[in-house]
Chains A and B, each alone.
Chain A
Amino acid sequence: MRWNSRTRLQRWLLWLVLCTCMFIASFVVAQDSAPIAPTLDLERIRQATVFILQARSIGDTLDITCFSSGTIVSRDGLILTNAHATIPSPACPGDELVVALTVTPEAPPIPRYRAVVIQSNPGLDLALLRIDRELDGRLIPEDALALPFVETDDSSTVALDDTITIVGYPGIANDPTAVQTATVVTFLAEPVGGERSWMKSSLEIPASMSGGGAYNRAGRLIAIPTTAPVSAARPGSTCVTLQDSNRDNLINADDTCIPVGGRISTLRPANFARPLIRAAQLGLELENLSERSVNTIAAAPQPNFRRLFFSPSVNEAGMPTQVIRTLPAGSTSLYLFFDYAGMTPETVFELRVTTDGIPNTTFSLSPVRWGGGARGIWYIGSTGQPYPNGDYEFTLLADGIPLESARLTVGGAPDTSPQFSDIIFGSINNEGNVSGNGFVLPVGPIANALFLYRNMTDGMSWAALWYYEGTEIARTETTWADGVSGTKDISIQEPNGLLPGTYRLELYIDDRLSTTADFTMAGAQQGVLPQVFFDSRFTSAETPAEAASTPAITTFSSGVNTTYTVFNWRSLLPGTLWTARWTVDGNLLFEQTIPWSQSTDGANYLYRLSGTRGIPDGTYALELYLGPLRLARTEARVGIGQLPIDPFAQTDGIQMRGQILDADTGAGIPGVSFILISELFSVADFLQRWDNDMVYALAVTDRIGRFQIDRPLSFDAPYSVYIAADGYLPIEADGVAIAPEDLPIDLTIYLTRG
């Protein structure tokens, strides 16, 4: 009996403990998932989120090779996603892209369409797809689709601690869209995108959500979750086998393994994607005719990193201001610099940061595709987020393999040791001062460097080492005799002229690297800026060969299909990184940073800009850069010189959907037309003419009577509605205005038989 009582008591206690645990757990879960911002049209966002399967066609079957999430960014079926899972590569060798959509809320996606890549930037790991076929391969006519889509927003307006909502598919097509709310914890900088190359979210999400979307409170796309799983062929990769790809009736290790990643918190800001979307919506295609024949990637050596060091800041040329070994307490800015070689666009790059041995996800970079060239100098770091005190270790990985690491201590007082910093390069002018733009010098016999020094003591040993294309060409080792602090200039001279190319200066104090910077020598002397690119012009021609000899054209007529852009160059060493930026009406259209592949001097570098529906009216410009410096610019007008406005390109407004039911039976009526009449007309006007030009949108109900207007309704515009169905009394209403505070409208309408 006593035993029974004790058992009952134990049972009650157990229940009590369980209930308490469940209560605490539910509280913790509720705390973790902060409420979704009320202005988000989550249903629309989830409908616009797609699951993309890359597949390889073998005979009449498709084998899945890679997958990612994606987001529809235009009503006619443009999808923004990652490049690594869509562009064919050794890691993702598929040749077909299948798009699966969320058809039923809270249900996994259903394959509906096929798509092709129409714009991409592998360095940024962004790709833009266009839905072009039904799943069965039938072509979809242009403008036939009216899909739910989202708009991008200016990601430069996102601030630290802003709340974001991340949407994507957490599994391999087995789950509905997942919605996660997080905050922005930091921005990571890289040379490819400046201070906001990456956003970091407070929440780690599954890697399969890569390619999806992160939204601000207004429900606009401001970033793309991005990670690239390490290729299944590499050690340390994780992958899943889904299909019997070798047709041996077994699914095992011999079948194709689809690479998957872990959990990620890295987001690519949407501003990098906007040029791709702009070019696609305008139907523009840019071909670099001079690079086509040499665009082959030689077999690269294994990736390697060396010369890792830290700098508290980066100058405008992407160079470190100084080299540090400790960082004072309260610092908010730190950059890791390193030299790299053997990197390819396929290489998966990762940075892991630990603080006192504990992984620090805030400053780490999830595995992503390499965004730089094959070799050079690179940095990654952040500004604005305080670095807590502690011992930091930064480890660089390539393809999942840790290669190099560097340590740094944060905390304590500012460093008062002797220091060089802030090197800039130029030429000595007539007054004896160093002049120039700082980082790109015209080819000549001398190059000067100006730098700051502080806390120096006369008699200290210091050294200046000059390198040309990675080879040491000059060294000065002497004792310091210039006082405690100030500026100093040094130079390198070559009576026969310094060769064009990339130079590096390293300054040491007591055999310790104190600061370093690279500069480029290219072009001829011409004022402050060297003349590297010249005679750039737009022209028109029947063939590329003719374009080289046709005169410059500054104004093209509307509807022109093709234009060429030509420029000449001098004293530019092959391998030097240069950038071509195309803009339309001042907005970036294309940007390409590549190593120079032509001879040192030459003429008629050629681009072809063409439009599938003709080049839209606008003012087009080509800008040519070396590093941060714009060295040449040419522009031309097409038509009126201003882009047309696309009324379908915006999602501002309210979404309208609903269900039409039979008043007698309560059943949905299929096939009923819901006609939304433009705010300029009344129902009476419409019934007089029945003109499609008066119709703002027309929707037809599905099998359960549901309909969806495929265009957002403008705020406060007095629309009219007419619902007509044979066998039922029509319904009409004028002055249907919607206020901004209205949530997505979901109507229920009853029709009476008559």
Chain B
Amino acid sequence: MAVSFTSLAEADNATTIIVQEKVANGIFTPNAPPDVSYQDEKIKLISTYNVDGSITINAEDLVLRKKFNVRLPDELAQLNELRPIGDEKIVAVGLLNSVVSIITIIDHKTRMIVDKFYGYSPEISPDGHWIAFQEFFPPHGYNDISSCYRVYNSSATAIENRVGHNDIFDPQVVGTSIYPVRFNSQLAECGVTNDEGEFIRISDSFTWGRSSDYFLFAVGEANMLNIILVKLDRKNNNWETFVYDLNKDKNICSQSECNLARVKSLNLKNGLVKFKILPTNKGEKPIDMLISIDKFSLAQ
């Protein structure tokens, strides 16, 4: 089954963002924390680092003219992004250490933290409904590495994001596994636990379409270099994962080193997935690629 392009519409955000200070991935300076803030016509969010090392969000509801504070989880070391999700929730994304992210979901009405989870390189969809991320595993001590890619539904509850899970506060196994699809049950752990990891992400992060109904990323392993397109259906809370193996078609990475390739500037426009690829880590010039989404097939 090929991916249908017509459903991958582009849309403009309804909310006008007045101020948004956020931190790009890859900087961890908790002793000199970066400024992080957000303001639109309805809400203003700023952050304060407390003397004890904790971080507080100072929120102002500009419609109701009410101010409130929310203390974020103690393990959060650096705040990187703050933003509302619709009128109901606020999401705070930060770092636990140099590489692991923590995502905190706050209920706007109760002003309470309603969920938190850990992961790598989380990217919030433009409409705030979804959060794409790589499943958490401890970064040091080289066992139990997970290469599972997930999506969190921010409009659902913590329990709904842990269907069938015994521990509703588990920060590790959260949301829905969207790749690899052989582990695609909603609750299950990916099960990818070996000492090397597989399906290594070779794109810097997850690239969302403006319409929030798809995102792109790339993974590599041995002779396989997969460009992944995940289509999301917000109305039915459903998803489909489409894959295109670039190496099978174009013989990009020699010597079974697809996990060393780097994919940059991924985007989708007019039915074409455009990106730059560095086939190895040997300093060669990037190759511009343009792949029609007709070439993608439903992941089995």
Partners in one complex: no
